[in-house]
Amino acid sequence: MLGELIGEEQGEVTGRRVLSTDGGHPIIEASFQASGTLLGAGVQDMGTYESVMRADGTLFGEGQGVVMTESGDTLTWHGSGVGHLGEGGAVSWRGAIFYDSPNGKHDRLTGIAAVFEFETDAAGKASAKLYEWK
């Protein structure tokens, strides 16, 4: 069941590059950085994802990243999602990410899937909302 809103971020795409165009399906790598909140605590998030354009015009993406909390803890994440292209290069993503915490302090996050809405505009500004899914 889709649960409560557990995080929000604002940031920007910091880089893009073409990895492949083989077979007519371009693969693009994008990196971002953002700041916001996760379970009420301030965080800095950075990640990189690869997306491939599919025959129907949608994107499939997979990525990974690191979240640093204001208290100095670090979490890692892996995720995947589906994107839809908008005007001027904007992309609207929906998917899920999964957290890992090396010190075990964030059991609530490591025990769930976090469902996300991730939006980038044509200028590379990004925003995200994360919901608990358990």
Q: Give the chain's mean pLDDT.
A: 94
pLDDT band at 34, cuts 50/70/90?
very high
Tokens of 30: 């994008």
pLDDT band at 1, cuts 50/70/90?
low
CA distances 27 to 24, 30, 50, 60, Å, are 9, 10, 7, 10
Global confidence as pTM: 0.91
Which residue blocks in the chain are alpha helix, DSSP H? 107-110
80 φ, ψ (degrees, to nearest 5): -150, 160
Could you report the per-residue pLDDT of 36-47, keeping only the tens digit for each? 999 999 999 999
Residue 26 · residue 16 · CB < 8 Å: no
